Structure 1
Amino acid sequence: MVEKNKALVEVKHVKKYFSIQKRPLKAVDDINLLINKGETVGLVGESGCGKSTAGKTIIRLLEPTAGEVYFEGKNIYEYNSREMKELRKDVQIIFQDPYASLNPRMKIEDIIGEPLDIHQVVKGKKRKDRVKELLELVGLRPEHANRFPHEFSGGQRQRIGIARALALNPKFIVCDEPISALDVSIQAQIVNLLKSLQDKMDLTYLFIAHDLSMVKYISDRILVMYLGNMVELSDSESLYDDPLHPYTKALLSAVPIPDPVVKRDRIVLEGEVPSPLSPPSGCVFRTRCKYAMERCATEVPQWKEVKPSHFTACHLYDS
């Protein structure tokens, strides 16, 4: 049984800036998040809003510009290389492109077994047995171990990527848009597999995606990002039934409803997404928001709890 409501990952004021022609590109600008053991937190937003960069920075695949991330109470940003290698046993990632993330010259047995070799967990027959066990765990056959990545479909390749991420029995996995490169018919299979594995292995997920309907299905809570900033956070039901931020409302208005009787007014955002090299002053969403006021241009909205466990950053909710 998964023990929920116990903090596994705590993200504090994490920032990730890139230098472009000596100017800071604020890909991730002050992210704060608590992820409890056994839960799935969805991270959503338009392409280019900083979702994947946030996920990779949280687990230190990208070095942060500022902030702290605590895993089981310890700040991993203070870890040396030896400590980070040990951490990789507990923290893994599933990448977006299931073909680009697999070495085309390696057989599946070696791709899945590579983490076992690096950490010297098992060797010989035990290694072969572990690889076969992992293949069966993700719905593939043991004989697939002797094939190469190009011999598999996209969905099968993603299952191989999941098997590799599970090789060391991790506790926390960042799922970096694991279904966006797959056919719609395969996406549900992969999401159902992730949910099943979570129950079997007591896993905790940060699930990054832009498909809001799929995020609702798999996530306990959802964080919405815009231009590197947090704009709303709540449990899945509250976010879908009663979104607070104008950006969240616009995103949800585009989600198809599988009921011809129910109608939803489409909210079309005006203008282009601003460049993260020169984000708008005050509220970063104000240039596309129909509710924008004068203060939105001069004051950064504060992150606040508008309803129980439902947070947003918007001047519309200032008391």
Structure 2
Amino acid sequence: MAVKTQKLIEVKNVKKYFPIQKKPLKAVDDLNLIINKGETVGLVGESGCGKSTAGKTIIRLLEPTAGEVLFEGENIYEFNQRQMKELRKDMQIIFQDPYASLNPRMKIEDIIGEPLDIHHLAKGKKRKERVHELLELVGLRPEHANRFPHEFSGGQRQRIGIARALAVHPKFIVCDEPISALDVSIQAQIVNLLKSLQEKMDLTYLFIAHDLSMVKYISDRILVMYLGNMVELSDSGSLYDEPLHPYTKALLSAVPIPDPTVKRERIVLEGEVPTPLSPPSGCVFRTRCKYAMERCAIEIPKWKEVKPSHFTACHLYDV
């Protein structure tokens, strides 16, 4: 796989805290990431670790608590309302739940055509032609334009959501768990559709998911998050072959191997995920880590490059 090095997005020290009971809930704490043009970065971690919040904060659907996001060199957190509206053409999102993300009272033609109306990209006959073109692009038929969302299956609804995101010719799309609400048989179809659209339209993705085998299939690089913190980042091959962080090792040990002759030790994490309202001191993973040392409770591990282009935050790799 060719390495893509033209920087599209740079995320710097991004934090997103929610004020709850006079204490900040640290949903995303100090996120740093570069996403290159044309690549797919996978973002994984268990439920509640801050993946979706991170994705929405990067494209400023949620206002950040701190940090900056540079899109093509410009800090979008400094943009005014007019500039943000213009930026929406370049940054889009595919939502997790295809049943909740489409307005049940609107016809498909108007759901897909709405971005065209907002950005004054097409009207009348051209609008209709563009909607039909987008439907065909995602594997649906032009006559589907006159139907309502309830007339479609979950997989078809997600295709409509993808068509809506593509309507404005975006450069970057946050795929917020786009397959988790779908049947397993449909998931591969949607992921293959996203891959083929990426090649056709030179798209860049942040692909958020639980399914580690699917993330490996679609991603160039993978970022692992735990309790709002980055714990490991690497290209997908290295992450699966040689995971460094104890949390990543535990996650990967749960991925089924379709070969009965291969045995893998299952790493079962003890205890519950701590609340982000009062995370553990030092390393946030230490309360569930079998390698935890005294310093893990005192000192926050530094983000470091342990192998070429393979980063982690763990005291086990301190030199």
Match of 1:58 in 2: 58
Match of 2:254 in 1: 254
Match of 1:136 in 2: 136
Match of 2:178 in 1: 178
What secondary structure sits across from 1:282 in the alignment?
Answer: coil
The answer as to 2:125 corresponding to 1:100 is no
Superposition map of 1:8-157 within 5 A: 8-157=8-157
Q: For each residue in 1:266-287, what CA deviation from the matched residue of structure 2 results, as whole angstroms up to 9, or x when unmatched? A: 0000000000000000000000
Q: Distance in 2 between matches of 1:234 and 1:131?
A: 38
Does structure 2 conserve the Cα–Cα contact (< 8 Å) formed by 1:135 and 1:163?
yes
Q: Distance in 1 between matches of 2:172 and 2:36?
A: 10
Match of 1:277 in 2: 277
Q: Distance in 1 between matches of 2:193 and 2:167?
A: 16
Q: Distance in 2 between matches of 1:270 and 1:100?
A: 35
Please state how far the C-alpha of 1:143 moved relative to its aligned partner. 0.2
The answer as to 2:219 corresponding to 1:219 is yes
Please state how far the C-alpha of 1:104 moved relative to its aligned partner. 0.2
Please state how far the C-alpha of 1:4 moved relative to its aligned partner. 2.9
Q: Distance in 2 between matches of 1:281 and 1:135?
A: 50
Q: Distance in 1 between matches of 2:22 and 2:165?
A: 36
Q: Distance in 2 between matches of 1:72 and 1:98?
A: 30
Q: For each residue in 1:161-191, what CA deviation from the matched residue of structure 2 results, as whole angstroms up to 9, or x when unmatched? A: 0000000000000000000000000000000
Q: Distance in 2 between matches of 1:259 and 1:115?
A: 46
Structure 2 segments unaligned to the other structure (5+ residues): none
Q: For each residue in 1:64-99, what CA deviation from the matched residue of structure 2 results, as whole angstroms up to 9, or x when unmatched? A: 000000000000000000000000000000000011
Q: Distance in 1 between matches of 2:260 and 2:270?
A: 27
Over aligned residue pairs, what C-alpha RMSD do you find?
Answer: 0.8
What secondary structure sits across from 1:132 in the alignment?
Answer: helix
Q: Distance in 2 between matches of 1:231 and 1:95?
A: 25
TM-score, normalised with respect to structure 1? 0.99
Structure 1 segments unaligned to the other structure (5+ residues): none
What secondary structure sits across from 1:30 in the alignment?
Answer: strand
Flag the 1:3–1:279 CA change in 2: closer, same or farther, 3 A.
closer
Q: Distance in 1 between matches of 2:138 and 2:8?
A: 25
What secondary structure sits across from 1:275 in the alignment?
Answer: coil
Q: For each residue in 1:196-231, what CA deviation from the matched residue of structure 2 results, as whole angstroms up to 9, or x when unmatched? A: 000000000000001000000000000000000000
Superposition map of 1:296-307 within 5 A: 296-307=296-307
What secondary structure sits across from 2:97 in the alignment?
Answer: coil
Please state how far the C-alpha of 1:3 moved relative to its aligned partner. 9.4
What secondary structure sits across from 1:193 in the alignment?
Answer: helix
Q: Distance in 2 between matches of 1:264 and 1:78?
A: 48
TM-score, normalised with respect to structure 2? 0.99
Please state how far the C-alpha of 1:5 moved relative to its aligned partner. 1.1
What secondary structure sits across from 2:52 in the alignment?
Answer: helix
Q: Distance in 1 between matches of 2:39 and 2:75?
A: 20
Q: Which amino acid aligns with 2:158?
A: Q
Q: Which amino acid aligns with 1:274?
A: P
Q: Distance in 1 between matches of 2:21 and 2:246?
A: 33
Please state how far the C-alpha of 1:54 moved relative to its aligned partner. 0.2
Flag the 1:309–1:250 CA change in 2: closer, same or farther, 3 A.
same
Q: Which amino acid aligns with 2:316?
A: L
Q: Distance in 1 between matches of 2:264 and 2:164?
A: 41
